[in-house]
Amino acid sequence: MNKKKLNWYLISYELRNIIGNIFVIFFGIFFPIIMSALFSVMLKSQIPENMYSETVTGLFITMSLVIPMAVLLIGYATNYSQELEKDVPLRLNLFGFSEKTMLLAKMVSYLIFTTAAFIIYAIVDFIMLDLQTPKISSAIFFILSLYALSVIFFMLAHGLATIFRKFGPTYAVCMFLYFGFMILCGMMGITVDQLPSGVKAVAKVFPMSYISSDFITFWQGGEYNFAPFIQSFLFFGAVSAIILIFSIRKNQRVLKAN
């Protein structure tokens, strides 16, 4: 049988699956907008007026992390685990779509949706909030960081869904990681610097901690030490890649056994 290549019909099929997930729509688009708006109102009465713009810009940067986490870590993992339960990948394989092609289609479609979600979030927040305009180089680096995080979350989500192959345990583990990352990485009202020293050390191995606490320092062109941030990316990416590789090999063993 001739294997079918990646095409727009397969990508659009995956996009329809994403849009059909209410969790992804709410937590990937509306939730960061709502949270940034609420926190900005709370902060207005707590900080000096001359620091307000910088503070809400930091809030904007922090809440942007919710988008790839909600869309990929939760949304993709739960969608794919349900597909595995119903043997959808196996059926598509019988129609000539290889596992590699399906994986690529999913990644492309989820990155398209993540891009659209971030554009909506950025436009609404720039209209609602008094945000500082970033330097072009800072904005590019910020966007590239979000895409890199999205790919890492995609690998992690795919790996976890493939390991468990059921919606229940996949959803439980991903929700635990989701809220764990939010607490550790300064997205729940407690900054990374306010965490106990031991917990803070754990938080620093994740790139989200640096984005939420440090990116405001170079938003308008300030100097920044990128070494710890890059190291955290390498660590988090390596762990996610190991989980993905392990899941693929485990899945191959399961298919051979059947």
Q: pLDDT for 208-217, tens place per residue?
A: 999 998 899 8
Read off the pLDDT of each residue in 121-141 and give the average, rounded to a whole number.
Answer: 93
Query: How far, in Å, CA of 84 to CA of 80, rounded?
Result: 6
Q: Which of 115-119, 133-137, 190-194 shows the lowest per-residue confidence on average (mean pLDDT)?
A: 190-194
Q: How confident is the model at residue 89 (pLDDT cuts 50, 70, 90)?
A: confident
The domain spans of the chain are 8-257
Collapsing DSSP to helix, strand or coil, 131 comes out as coil
Q: How confident is the model at residue 254 (pLDDT cuts 50, 70, 90)?
A: low
Comparing 221 with 208, which gets the higher pLDDT?
A: 208
Percent over 90 (pLDDT), the chain: 67
Angle (nearest 5°) at CA 225 between 221 and 235: 125
- Smallest CA-to-CA distance from 68 within 182, 223, 224 is with 182
What's the whole-number average pLDDT of the chain?
A: 90
Quote the pLDDT of residue 45: 81
pLDDT tens-digit map of 36-87:
999 898 888 888 888 899 999 999 999 999 999 999 999 999 999 999 998 8
- Tell me the two tokens of residue 184: 């550790």
**What is the pLDDT, as a whole number, of residue 256?**
62
**Quick one: which H or E segment has residue 13?**
helix 8-19
**Which of 126, 130, 135, 161 has the alpha carbon at shortest distance from 33?**
126
Taking the CB of residue 21, how many other CB atoms lie within 10 A of it?
Answer: 19
pLDDT at 253: 72
CA distances from 37 to 56, 83, 168, 215, 219 (A): 9, 35, 32, 20, 20
| Helix ranges (DSSP H) in 95-206 | 99-128, 136-164, 167-184, 197-203
pLDDT score of 223: 83
* Cα separations in angstroms, 31 against 20, 24, 37, 78: 17, 10, 10, 18
